[in-house]
């Protein structure tokens, strides 16, 4: 299936792996790229030295295009991006910040830059800065987004930009891909769907519980990790969403993050202040800890799991190759059926 997304990125299928902390690891990234999509590596939880290592791991597992995602408000974002630029990673995807300097650097070696946006003005700014495509995130997604759903947001932004659009939020099958194309997108990004694949190393207990989860079993909150997001509605998430961490927790939380990503303490504290205050720093640390135990240990008593509303549509755990081939075949059949119906 050829679209502007496949042509731009040099891939077979217009499907992208969303970059998820502790989930979008080299094995899964390479599996998606090898299956014809675009694998996206998450950079949030790595130090710069680790970043170089995981990039080279991906390169050892695939000769296909792949990308790196960077959340620019994170304290280690610039350092990790500089490693990715030095390694000439083919595709860089940035979010929550101004990426003009990234675009300039990536274009110098012939790479492509995707800007993740959830509101119109950010889409316009990214296009003005020279981004090659937009990842448009609707309210259905587990990713950090805004209030507008994909059904409205995708055509809204598509009507205002000439850039290819990768739609995120609520997409997990061929019906979703076909719908995204009709709405004006050129492909889709999936996070929750790729969590439930054989190449994803998420704990089996968490996978099994996810298969039983419905679209109603999610909660939206900005208090779990300091940014608006959608999470599995378990007791841990509900508690985090309704509690208010003490300002004194910021320092201990900063130490916890510092040990994880090895950045100076002052930089962490300044980063917390640049968001909405030191409480967000505490939430960020608690959220990362909860996320890690849910994914790695299968602990959903104390852990939290980002999960999109599309989880209610998922009933199996295929390989990435099986999943991409199935989605594209379904989408092509649907588009052809609609075309024939309109002709007749």
Share the mean pLDDT of the chain.
88
Dihedral sign of CA atoms 142, 328, 41, 72 in order: negative
d(CA 218, CA 212): 12
**Helix (H) or strand (E) segment spanning residue 68:** strand 66-71
DSSP 152-194: HHHHHHHTT--S-EEEESS--SHHHHHHHHHHT-SEEEESHHH
| Burial (Cβ within 10 Å: 0-12, 13-18, ≥19) of residue 249 | middle
Query: What is the longest distance spanned by two Cα atoms in the chain?
Result: 68
* Bridge partners of residue 232, in order along the sequence: 218
- Residue 273: its pLDDT value, please? 47
Q: Measured at the alpha carbon of residue 81, what is the angle toward residues 80 and 84, in degrees to the nearest 5?
A: 95
- Residue 335: its pLDDT value, please? 87
- Residue 341: its pLDDT value, please? 74
Give the list of residues 6+ apart from residue 316 with CB closer than 8 angstroms, or none: 196, 211
3-state DSSP call for residue 284? helix
Indicate the pLDDT class of residue 67, thresholds 50, 70 and 90: very high
Q: Measured at the alpha carbon of residue 119, what is the angle toward residues 230 and 81, in degrees to the nearest 5?
A: 75
Top mean-pLDDT range of 255-259, 261-265, 294-298: 294-298
* Bridge partners of residue 187, in order along the sequence: 166
For the record, the structure tokens of 164 come out as 């290819």
247 against 37, higher pLDDT: 37
Residue 98, pLDDT > 70, answer: yes
- Residue 340: its pLDDT value, please? 77
- Residue 176: its pLDDT value, please? 97
- Residue 277: its pLDDT value, please? 46
Span 91-112, average pLDDT: 94
Q: What is the pLDDT of residues 307-343, one digit of tens each?
A: 999 999 999 999 999 999 999 999 999 988 887 776 6
d(CA 139, CA 310): 11
3-state DSSP call for residue 243? coil
Indicate the pLDDT class of residue 285, thresholds 50, 70 and 90: low
d(CA 197, CA 191): 11
3-state helix, strand, coil in the chain (%, to 5): 50, 15, 35
Question: Domain spanning 4-203+315-343: which CATH class is it, in words?
Answer: alpha beta
Residue with tokens 């110098």: 108
Give the list of residues 6+ apart from residue 178 with CB closer than 8 angstroms, or none: 330, 331, 334, 335, 338
Per the CB < 8 A criterion, the answer to whether 97 and 72 are in contact is yes
Instruction: Please tell me the least confidently modeled range out of 16-20, 175-179, 286-290.
Output: 286-290
* Bridge partners of residue 329, in order along the sequence: none
Q: Name the residue ranges covered by the structural domains of the chain.
A: 4-203+315-343, 214-297
Instruction: Please tell me the least confidently modeled range out of 22-26, 38-42, 165-169, 241-245.
Output: 241-245
129 against 269, higher pLDDT: 129
Span 163-182, average pLDDT: 97
Residue 69, pLDDT > 60, answer: yes
Q: What is the pLDDT of residues 185-222, one digit of tens each?
A: 999 999 999 999 999 999 999 999 999 999 999 999 88
Indicate the pLDDT class of residue 253, thresholds 50, 70 and 90: low
* Bridge partners of residue 117, in order along the sequence: 136
Q: What is the pLDDT of residues 16-47, one digit of tens each?
A: 999 998 899 999 999 999 999 999 999 888 88
């Amino acid at each position: 299936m050829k679209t502007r997304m496949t042509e731009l990125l040099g891939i077979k299928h217009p499907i992208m792996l969303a970059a998820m902390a502790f989930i979008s690891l080299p094995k899964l990234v390479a599996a998606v790229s090898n299956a014809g999509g675009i694998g996206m590596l998450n950079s949030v939880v790595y130090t710069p030295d680790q970043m170089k290592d995981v990039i080279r791991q991906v390169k050892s597992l695939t000769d296909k295009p792949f990308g790196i995602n960077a959340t620019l408000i994170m304290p280690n974002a610039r350092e990790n991006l500089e490693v990715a630029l030095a390694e000439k990673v083919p595709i860089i995807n940035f979010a929550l910040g101004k990426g003009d300097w990234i675009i300039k650097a990536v274009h110098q070696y012939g790479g492509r830059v995707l800007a993740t946006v959830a509101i119109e003005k950010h889409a316009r700014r990214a296009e003005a800065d020279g981004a090659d495509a937009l990842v448009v995130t609707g309210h259905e997604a587990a990713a950090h987004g805004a209030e507008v759903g994909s059904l409205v947001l995708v055509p809204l932004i598509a009507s205002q930009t000439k850039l290819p659009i990768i739609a995120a939020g609520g997409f997990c099958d061929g019906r979703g891909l076909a719908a995204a194309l009709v709405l004006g997108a050129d492909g889709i990004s999936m996070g929750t769907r790729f969590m439930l694949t054989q190449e994803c190393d998420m704990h089996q207990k968490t996978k099994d519980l996810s298969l039983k989860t419905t679209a109603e079993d999610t909660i939206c909150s900005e208090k779990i990790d300091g940014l608006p997001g959608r999470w599995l509605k378990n007791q841990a998430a509900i508690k985090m969403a309704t509690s208010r961490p003490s300002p004194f927790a910021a320092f201990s939380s900063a130490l916890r993050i510092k040990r994880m990503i090895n950045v100076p303490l002052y930089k962490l504290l300044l980063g917390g202040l640049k968001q909405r205050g030191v409480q967000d720093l505490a939430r960020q640390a608690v959220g990362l800890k909860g996320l890690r135990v849910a994914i790695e240990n299968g602990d959903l008593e104390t852990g939290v799991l980002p999960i999109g509303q599309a989880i209610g549509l998922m009933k199996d755990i295929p390989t990435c190759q099986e999943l991409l081939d199935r989605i594209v075949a379904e989408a092509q059949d649907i588009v052809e059926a609609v075309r024939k119906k309109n002709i007749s």
